């Protein structure tokens, strides 16, 4: 499989250290609020990647952290701790907030058919590991104590800016929020590994450490959790594109300084989902969550379909109109699959393999889910028999996880189990009479009345079909 690698800036074969085994690390959510659908775009694309790697015969070990301490609003060392912000907002303890939003995150994942990683590790559960790693970094001369905090010394590295040629201004994250620059840093790019003295006197969670009572910086958690479960190397590291800098840059700096060798060869980043007026936000404008989509009548899987229609390396604009179009297309696709369900054909394996080929080619070419969906449509349009089409679609959907066959079955069951009201039947009869009398204006009018009652009517060769509108 060819997969773009942010580290080398090109599409390259994805190769693992041990053939057939993938150690995949995903930066998990900061559990201070519900995930917005932008966050979930990243997790949907990572889920498809994991499932495709598994479907291609790999055993995937997926590791995810849960950030419940240390992530500041700036992503750097300035701003307010996001968890502490939630404490002020909700007047609850950090741990109860973390638990609530961790559960909410995984509930959203279930609705979006995102598989829970094999390993899920909250940061607060690994404090001794963080401390041990920081001690070793100090010992090796990569970290220093200043003003009570422990900092990583980026000047000790041969190369710090591994992903891009970042500009100095990029380091001013947070300064916009009116927070002063940290005078303790020897170099502007240095970052905090452990806080003891800071502006957050109200920080609720603190631990004893060799440097005093304090708490970890954000970046150290992913290095330590990655190494705890993945050992000295990882095959694949994922996140949204905003994670590339400073978070992943700092993860690489501290992990490789600690290990003395390269850590993870392949870095996968998902571009952002934005709104028409810019960045997606949890505090300003409409807070777009899975629950909001549901309240507005959209199936979460229609949102997954919307995401998969675009390539992960292009930013995507969300609007209700765009989601409407995706939901319409998703429902049509499900309806089409529904017509194949009751067949007595047998699967033609050779034909099925032929239908799957373009799907595999699309996915092998940098996870092109948009083309993979085209392969689903092409399979349905092909001259294969119903059982073969259905079996091919089922195989593709094991990776895409759009719940296509289940949704088709559910809507068929619904149609079967729904009794048609007498009022609708009377209108259908009246419409038949009108058509017989060639009064088409009247027939149309009666059709509108039937539609208004939530029913769809279709004249087929077998007779009149009446189905509920989905």
- In the complex with Zn ion, the residue whose CB is nearer, 62 or 351, is 62
DSSP character for 184?
A: T
Q: Min. distance of Cβ 50 from ligand AMP in angstroms?
A: 14
Nearest partner of 229 among 34, 60, 424, 38, judged by Cα: 60
Site residues (CB under 5 A) for Zn ion, limited to 24-43: 27
**In this structure, are strands 10-13 and 2-5 parallel, antiparallel, or unpaired?**
antiparallel
Establish if 240 lies at the interface with ligand AMP (CB under 6 A).
yes
Reading the block at residue 349, the tokens are: 């394996």
Stretch that binds Zn ion, among 38-46, 206-214, 218-226, 302-310 (CB under 5 A): 218-226
CA 260 to chain centre: 32
Q: Which does 408 bind (CB under 5 to 8 A by kind): Zn ion, ligand AMP, none?
A: none
What are residue 152's phi and psi, to 5 degrees?
A: -85, 135
Establish if 38 lies at the interface with ligand AMP (CB under 6 A).
yes
- For ligand AMP, what does the binding mask look like between residues 316 and 355, x meaning CB under 6 A? ----------------------------------------
- In the complex with ligand AMP, the residue whose CB is nearer, 230 or 240, is 240
Establish if 49 lies at the interface with Zn ion (CB under 5 A).
no
Dump strand ranges (E) for 87-229.
119-122, 143-146, 149-152, 191-195, 215-216
- The whole-angstrom separation of Cα 42 and Cα 312 is 8
- For ligand AMP, what does the binding mask look like between residues 16 and 35, x meaning CB under 6 A? -----------x-xx-----
What are residue 380's phi and psi, to 5 degrees?
A: -70, -30
Nearest partner of 209 among 135, 123, 121, 152, judged by Cα: 135
Contact residue for ligand AMP among 280, 288, 290, 326 (CB under 6 A): 280
Establish if 222 lies at the interface with Zn ion (CB under 5 A).
yes
- In the complex with Zn ion, the residue whose CB is nearer, 251 or 397, is 251
Q: Which does 265 bind (CB under 5 to 8 A by kind): Zn ion, ligand AMP, none?
A: none
In 3-state terms the chain splits into helix, strand, coil percentages (rounded to 5) of 50, 15, 35
Is the distance from CB of 306 to CB of 299 less than 8 angstroms? no
Establish if 380 lies at the interface with ligand AMP (CB under 6 A).
no
Establish if 270 lies at the interface with ligand AMP (CB under 6 A).
yes
User: How many Cα atoms sit within 13 Å of 382 on the Cβ side?
Assistant: 24
Q: Which does 272 bind (CB under 5 to 8 A by kind): ligand AMP, Zn ion, none?
A: ligand AMP
- In the complex with ligand AMP, the residue whose CB is nearer, 43 or 211, is 43
Q: Which residue is nearest to ligand AMP (CB)?
A: 240
The residue whose two tokens read 């549901």 is 294
For residue 34, count other CB atoms closer than 10 A to its CB. Answer: 22
Establish if 290 lies at the interface with ligand AMP (CB under 6 A).
no
End-to-end alpha-carbon separation of the chain, Å? 38
- The whole-angstrom separation of Cα 50 and Cα 59 is 10
- In the complex with ligand AMP, the residue whose CB is nearer, 83 or 390, is 83
Q: Min. distance of Cβ 105 from Zn ion in angstroms?
A: 15
Q: Which does 222 bind (CB under 5 to 8 A by kind): Zn ion, ligand AMP, none?
A: Zn ion
- The whole-angstrom separation of Cα 44 and Cα 28 is 12
Establish if 392 lies at the interface with Zn ion (CB under 5 A).
no
- The whole-angstrom separation of Cα 49 and Cα 41 is 12
Establish if 217 lies at the interface with ligand AMP (CB under 6 A).
no
- The whole-angstrom separation of Cα 455 and Cα 470 is 9
Q: Which does 29 bind (CB under 5 to 8 A by kind): Zn ion, ligand AMP, none?
A: ligand AMP
List residues binding Zn ion (CB under 5 A).
27, 222
List residues binding ligand AMP (CB under 6 A).
27, 29-30, 38-39, 41-42, 67, 239-240, 242-243, 270, 272-273, 280
């Amino acid at each position: 499989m060819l997969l773009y690698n942010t580290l080398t800036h090109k599409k390259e074969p994805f190769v693992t250290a041990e053939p057939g085994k993938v150690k995949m690390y995903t930066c998990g959510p900061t559990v201070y609020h519900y995930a917005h659908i932008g966050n979930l775009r990243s997790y949907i694309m990572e889920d498809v990647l994991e499932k495709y790697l598994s479907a291609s015969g790999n055993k995937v070990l997926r590791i995810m952290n849960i950030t419940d301490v240390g992530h500041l609003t700036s992503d750097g060392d300035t701003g307010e701790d996001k968890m502490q912000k939630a404490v002020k907002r909700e007047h609850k303890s950090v741990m109860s907030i973390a638990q609530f939003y961790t559960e909410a995150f995984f509930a959203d994942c279930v609705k979006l058919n995102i598989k829970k990683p094999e390993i899920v590790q909250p940061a607060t559960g690994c404090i001794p590991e963080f401390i041990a790693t920081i001690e070793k970094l100090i010992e090796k001369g990569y970290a220093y104590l200043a003003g009570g905090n422990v900092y990583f010394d980026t000047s000790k590295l041969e190369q710090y800016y591994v992903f891009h040629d970042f500009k100095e201004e990029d380091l001013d994250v947070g300064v916009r929020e009116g927070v002063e620059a940290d005078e303790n840093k020897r170099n502007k790019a240095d970052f905090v590994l452990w806080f003891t003295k800071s502006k957050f006197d109200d920080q609720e969670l603190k631990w004893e450490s060799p440097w005093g009572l304090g708490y970890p910086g954000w970046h150290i958690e992913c290095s330590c959790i990655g190494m705890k479960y993945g050992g000295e190397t990882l095959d694949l590291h994922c996140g949204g594109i905003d994670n590339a800098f400073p978070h992943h840059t700092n993860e690489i700096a501290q992990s490789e300084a600690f290990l003395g060798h390269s850590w993870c060869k392949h870095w996968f980043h998902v571009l952002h989902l934005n709104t028409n007026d810019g960045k997606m936000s949890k505090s300003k404008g409409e807070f777009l969550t899975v629950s909001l989509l549901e309240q507005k009548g959209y199936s979460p899987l229609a949102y997954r379909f919307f995401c998969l229609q675009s390539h992960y390396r292009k930013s995507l604009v969300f609007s209700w109109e765009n989601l409407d179009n995706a939901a319409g297309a998703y429902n049509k696709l499900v309806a089409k699959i529904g017509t194949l369900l009751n067949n007595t054909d047998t699967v033609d394996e050779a034909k099925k393999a032929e239908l799957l080929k373009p799907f595999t080619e699309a996915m092998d070419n940098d996870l092109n889910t948009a083309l993979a969906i085209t392969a689903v449509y092409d399979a349905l349009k092909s001259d294969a028999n119903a059982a073969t089409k259905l079996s091919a679609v089922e195989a593709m959907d094991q990776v895409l996880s759009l719940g296509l066959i289940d949704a088709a079955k559910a809507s068929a069951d619904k149609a079967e189990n729904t009794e048609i009201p007498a009022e609708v039947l009377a209108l259908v009869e009246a419409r038949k009479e009108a058509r017989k009398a060639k009064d088409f204006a009247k027939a149309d009018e009666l059709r509108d009345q039937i539609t208004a009652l939530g029913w769809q009517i279709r004249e087929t060769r077998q007779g009149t079909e009446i189905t509920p509108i989905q």
